[in-house]
Chain A
Amino acid sequence: MTVPFHSDKHQYVGGNGERLDAVDKVTGSAVYVHEMAIPGMLHGRMKVSPHAHARIKRVDTSKAEKVEGVRAIVTGATLDMTLGLYMCDRPILGRDVVRYQGEQVAAVAAETEFAARRACELIEIEYEPLPAVFDPEEALADNAVRVHPDLHTYNHMRGVFFPQANTNIAHHQKIRKGDVEAGFAQADRVFEHRFTNPPVAHAPIETHVTIAQALPGRRAHIITSAQSPFTVRNLFAIAFGMPHNAVRVQIPYVGGGFGGKAGIHLEPLAYCLSRAAGGRPVKITASREEEFNVLPSRQGLKTIIKTGVKNDGRITALQVKYMWDAGAYADYGVNIGRAAATSGAGPYVVDNCWIDSLVVYTNKLYGTAFRGFGHLEVLWGVERNLDRIAHALGLDPYEIRQKNVLRAGTTTITGEKVTPNHGRPDICLETVAKDIAFDNRTRTSTTGPLPKGKVRGKGIALLQKSPAMPVFTSCSAIVKFNEDASVNVLISGVDYGQGTYTSLANIVAQELSIPRDKVQVVFDCDTATQPYDWQTVASRFQVMGGNACIDACHDCIAQLKQVAGQVLRAPDHELVCEDERVYVRHTPDQGLSYREIVLGYTYPNGNSIGGPIIGRGKYIAQGLTHLDPQTGQGKAALDWTYGAHGVEIEIDTETGEMEIIKISSAFDIGKVIHEGMCRTQVQGGVLQGLGSALFEGFRFDERGRMLNPSFVDYKIPTAKDAPREMRQHFVETPQLDGPFGARGVGEHPMISIPSAVGNAIFDATGVDITDLPLTSERVYMALKAARKAREA
């Protein structure tokens, strides 16, 4: 075919279109695990530790066993498995030791919720409290309490993660690029700053909930509110020593995840209860209090950044120590420590870079994946740091960023060469700065009087993230035709609200040239029947799922043409597929409808050829490498999504209260596959970022007990907390190996929101705040202290 074929029909990529799950969800007919029940099901409840660190001396379940309706009780003593893929350090139930207040120590399955609860209360556990450590910096001291004294014996992914024996360090990620000492020597000024982030809750509106059944023949059936069916199956199979095809994991609609449901959580415990209950299915539903107190959070972080700069703002050296507050267990934590370090200098050219990213155990609720995977935490420090330096040098925060930002031809801190198609952080920054008129602001000086009354300020911040995923991450998809030439897409990335299935429908409909409403992406994920996908995290599903779907569609097209070619007596290259027909390009009347082919074609005399058309597609990240254990150099990034936020705030200086006037956000996502899905992802992520910026964070007392495990005192943004105005901009520098050039944007909207707000506070008041969250009290106290310092 020498004349390229292009169709105007069924062009959905870049357009809108209704969410595939909208009708189910607006009618209340969408079924979540929360309401599922299967015959014979028992109710499971957990008992948790009141102590942050204690030896379990005695467990007595005798009274609990007598409660009417109790069918099984499990304790740590009866379970031998340890969970973890990267770092195998977490027992299903506390065995000899508990390591955080809230750690599960026992569980009961009973005929009723009430009986299970009652029995849990009657389980007697005698603890011997032990000294505990709650701060990651303190946990690094030589004489610190050891959270995992046997760390050196733990299985872990060797060559990728490096636990340090006889310490609380679960992993030490190093980035070593250039010569950082020489870089400091070249600098005109050297700055050292500290920043902190608290642990934060995901707070999905649907809590964690799981139904598990131990089936006869050492098989397991799990129905769970989770993000990654194959990860649940894999960890399960490994932990329980079962073959993979003996474990079936199903995931229906999920009420939010944000990373908190990315791994394996309540499933093993529910399975153990089922096993102990003679194979009856057991459902464990986390209460909201348990969701906060028992299920993992985002890690906290302490950052020390030392920066060398020239007077014109150019960075000559960067040395960072990240101390991650991993909490009691670090399976995901070690990966966050690794991934965030690779972005740990921000989207800037830093030729001399030395980063130590330490994932540190403490006796608190443990951390797991959370939207942004360490990047919000890291970029809090990085972006605040840059603004502080700009102010000290008398430079514009916009200019200092444009001076240092990564551009084509430069190299990242992991040694990756930036190509023209990587993405344009400079354009993202320019876009938001213009949108909030950043060049028109008060520029509060640090020497002038502090403002009174309501004041406004503007702040900007850049962001970047690549998917943090193993080098072998892959995705697959099946596109199968139905009798009426509609298709079912089977793919087990989970759409838990982010809308990827709706985007994929745009892609599949366009690739197959069929009406979009004839594409159904099957929402029930099932490891028994759907093809493999790694995890629905990391903002990689649009990319990898999109590519896998395109591959599957190509396979469908090839099969359609193969049959049509026989019937029409034409070679492949003379056939086109358009608008549910395969026809000879030059003589369109010479064609067949898809309907005639998709389950096989029947000639007039009855001969039948072909058969059901099932397209198979896959995608594996190309060209990724391991990171060098000593230097962190390598290519770990599937792609980089760059972005920026510009924020205008108004502060009531008498109270510290802030109102967000405007947030402008820009991301270079390569290609907008579905306009509405992209826009709403950004809006939601920005609000979640504002929560972290303004008021979210777990608080603990001096004994490590969580003080705010409820919505009463752990506040998340309501409609009243939304900014007056939010704007979203999408830059489209094509990702050459992305579906239609697309990159992901699931996590990015949240990243650097706190940074931009923190920078705006300085602009409005001249006050620098280095710790999150930026509560009214914190802002007020900072203003008060600054006032006192001036008066002194």
Chain B
Amino acid sequence: MEYDIEVTVNDVHYKTRVPASFTLMQLLRDKLHLTGTKEGCGIGECGACSVMLDGQLVNACLVLGVEANGSAVRTIEGEAKGEQLSDLQQSFIKHHALQCGFCTPGMILSARDLLGRVPAPRDEQIVEAIAGNLCRCTGYETIVDAIREVAHGPKGGAK
């Protein structure tokens, strides 16, 4: 069955219609054409589809689109403000914290979520926060470096 739903994504209000079986990931990618959020496995193991749902980090593949009715979602498309890249985005670039880029949106969302909860995380907390985001390319070290710099500044925070 299909349902009319309303959802706010990155502060933009959408009205759309989805089958009950559509996941939030499909809603974002296929209905709203916000394709920055990626599908890596569909079962919540890889984190490529990480988004914020009402302020909480979730795997969009494990949420039904209809569950997001009336909710606020934040995706990678909401990270930059117009042409201005966010601090995390700039840090990822500076530290080469990406290669193929497929895990990057989810990784940045997880980092954004962490910094919202824990302003000055230790390395173990950074690792725990991104532990659900699989990356096959980078080896994770540059990603942790990038997040650490945003959290603690370029010289701050012992490794």
Q: Could you tell me the distance between the alpha carbons of A433 and B133 in the complex, rounded to whole angstroms?
A: 33
A677 and B96 in contact (CB under 8 A), knowing A28-B35, A205-B38, A205-B46? yes
Q: Could you tell me the distance between the alpha carbons of A307 and B30 in the complex, rounded to whole angstroms?
A: 59
Q: By the criterion CB–CB under 8 Å, are B101 and A30 in contact?
A: yes
Contact of B75 with A by CB under 8 A? yes
Q: Shortest beta-carbon distance, A100 to chain B, in Å?
A: 22
**Cβ 8 A contact of B39, one of A34, A497, A498, A711:** A34
Q: Could you jot down 12 A-B contacts, CB within 8 Å? A: A19-B93, A25-B104, A27-B77, A27-B79, A28-B34, A34-B35, A499-B99, A683-B141, A684-B139, A716-B136, A719-B143, A720-B127
Interface 0/1 of B32-52, CB less than 8 Å to A: 001111111111011010000
Q: By the criterion CB–CB under 8 Å, are B131 and A26 in contact?
A: no
**Cβ 8 A contact of B142, one of A32, A257, A683:** A683
Residues of chain A lying within 8 A (CB to CB) of residue B142: 680, 683
Q: By the criterion CB–CB under 8 Å, are B98 and A19 in contact?
A: yes
Q: Could you tell me the distance between the alpha carbons of A31 and B42 in the complex, rounded to whole angstroms?
A: 19
Contact of B76 with A by CB under 8 A? yes
Nearest B residue to A688, CB-CB: B136
Nearest B residue to A37, CB-CB: B30
> B residues engaging A (CB < 8 A)?
29, 34-43, 45-46, 48, 75-77, 79-80, 85, 88-89, 92-94, 96, 98-105, 108, 127-128, 130-144
- Most chain A CB inside 10 Å of its own CB: which residue of B34, B92, B137: B137
> A residues engaging B (CB < 8 A)?
18-19, 21-32, 34-35, 202-207, 253-258, 287-288, 496-499, 676-677, 679-680, 683-688, 710-712, 716-720, 722, 726
Q: Could you tell me the distance between the alpha carbons of A202 and B137 in the complex, rounded to whole angstroms?
A: 11
Q: By the criterion CB–CB under 8 Å, are A205 and B85 in contact?
A: no
Q: Shortest beta-carbon distance, A661 to chain B, in Å?
A: 15
A205 and B134 in contact (CB under 8 A), knowing A712-B43, A719-B144? yes
Q: By the criterion CB–CB under 8 Å, are B39 and A687 in contact?
A: no
Q: Shortest beta-carbon distance, B51 to chain A, in Å?
A: 11
Nearest A residue to B98, CB-CB: A25
Q: By the criterion CB–CB under 8 Å, are B43 and A710 in contact?
A: yes
A722 and B46 in contact (CB under 8 A), knowing A28-B105, A255-B38? no
Q: By the criterion CB–CB under 8 Å, are A498 and B99 in contact?
A: yes
Main secondary structure of the interface of A (DSSP, over half): loop
Q: By the criterion CB–CB under 8 Å, are A497 and B42 in contact?
A: no
Q: By the criterion CB–CB under 8 Å, are B130 and A205 in contact?
A: no
Residues of chain B lying within 8 A (CB to CB) of residue A720: 127-128, 131
**Cβ 8 A contact of A722, one of B43, B96, B139:** B139
Residues of chain A lying within 8 A (CB to CB) of residue B141: 683, 722, 726
Q: Could you tell me the distance between the alpha carbons of A22 and B103 in the complex, rounded to whole angstroms?
A: 13
Q: By the criterion CB–CB under 8 Å, are A256 and B137 in contact?
A: yes
Q: Shortest beta-carbon distance, B123 to chain A, in Å?
A: 10
Q: Could you tell me the distance between the alpha carbons of A23 and B34 in the complex, rounded to whole angstroms?
A: 17
Q: By the criterion CB–CB under 8 Å, are A24 and B139 in contact?
A: no
Nearest A residue to B37, CB-CB: A28
**Cβ 8 A contact of A497, one of B101, B105, B130, B140:** B101
Q: Shortest beta-carbon distance, B133 to chain A, in Å?
A: 8
Residues of chain B lying within 8 A (CB to CB) of residue A204: 100, 102, 136
- Most chain A CB inside 10 Å of its own CB: which residue of B37, B88, B100, B103: B100
Q: Could you tell me the distance between the alpha carbons of A203 and B100 in the complex, rounded to whole angstroms?
A: 13
A35 and B134 in contact (CB under 8 A), knowing A497-B99, A499-B99? no
Other 10 A-B pairs with CB < 8 A, given A497-B99, A683-B142: A22-B96, A25-B104, A205-B40, A205-B100, A205-B103, A253-B100, A497-B100, A687-B139, A711-B134, A712-B45
Q: By the criterion CB–CB under 8 Å, are B130 and A256 in contact?
A: no
Q: Could you tell me the distance between the alpha carbons of A31 and B34 in the complex, rounded to whole angstroms?
A: 11
Nearest A residue to B19, CB-CB: A114
Q: Shortest beta-carbon distance, B29 to chain A, in Å?
A: 6
Q: By the criterion CB–CB under 8 Å, are A719 and B140 in contact?
A: yes
Q: By the criterion CB–CB under 8 Å, are B92 and A726 in contact?
A: no
**Cβ 8 A contact of B101, one of A21, A676, A716, A717:** A21
Q: By the criterion CB–CB under 8 Å, are B98 and A22 in contact?
A: yes
Q: Shortest beta-carbon distance, B22 to chain A, in Å?
A: 10
Residues of chain A lying within 8 A (CB to CB) of residue B43: 288, 710-712
Q: By the criterion CB–CB under 8 Å, are A22 and B92 in contact?
A: yes
- Most chain A CB inside 10 Å of its own CB: which residue of B48, B94, B128, B141: B141
Q: By the criterion CB–CB under 8 Å, are B131 and A680 in contact?
A: no
Residues of chain A lying within 8 A (CB to CB) of residue B38: 32, 34, 205-206, 255
Q: By the criterion CB–CB under 8 Å, are A18 and B93 in contact?
A: yes
Residues of chain A lying within 8 A (CB to CB) of residue B80: 27
Q: By the criterion CB–CB under 8 Å, are A676 and B96 in contact?
A: yes
Nearest A residue to B45, CB-CB: A711
Q: Shortest beta-carbon distance, B99 to chain A, in Å?
A: 3
Residues of chain A lying within 8 A (CB to CB) of residue B130: 719
Q: Shortest beta-carbon distance, B153 to chain A, in Å?
A: 20
Q: Shortest beta-carbon distance, A318 to chain B, in Å?
A: 33
A205 and B136 in contact (CB under 8 A), knowing A27-B77, A34-B38? yes
Q: Shortest beta-carbon distance, B154 to chain A, in Å?
A: 15
Q: Could you tell me the distance between the alpha carbons of A111 and B102 in the complex, rounded to whole angstroms?
A: 27
Q: Could you tell me the distance between the alpha carbons of A254 and B101 in the complex, rounded to whole angstroms?
A: 8
Q: Could you tell me the distance between the alpha carbons of A31 and B132 in the complex, rounded to whole angstroms?
A: 23
Q: Shortest beta-carbon distance, A426 to chain B, in Å?
A: 26
- Most chain B CB inside 10 Å of its own CB: which residue of A24, A31, A204, A719: A719
Which 7 pairs of residues, A with B, have the shortest CB-CB distance? A28-B36, A497-B100, A25-B101, A255-B102, A497-B99, A683-B139, A28-B76
Q: Could you tell me the distance between the alpha carbons of A683 and B35 in the complex, rounded to whole angstroms?
A: 28
Q: By the criterion CB–CB under 8 Å, are A203 and B140 in contact?
A: no
Q: By the criterion CB–CB under 8 Å, are A686 and B39 in contact?
A: no
Residues of chain A lying within 8 A (CB to CB) of residue B37: 28
Q: Shortest beta-carbon distance, A516 to chain B, in Å?
A: 14
Residues of chain A lying within 8 A (CB to CB) of residue B137: 256, 497, 684
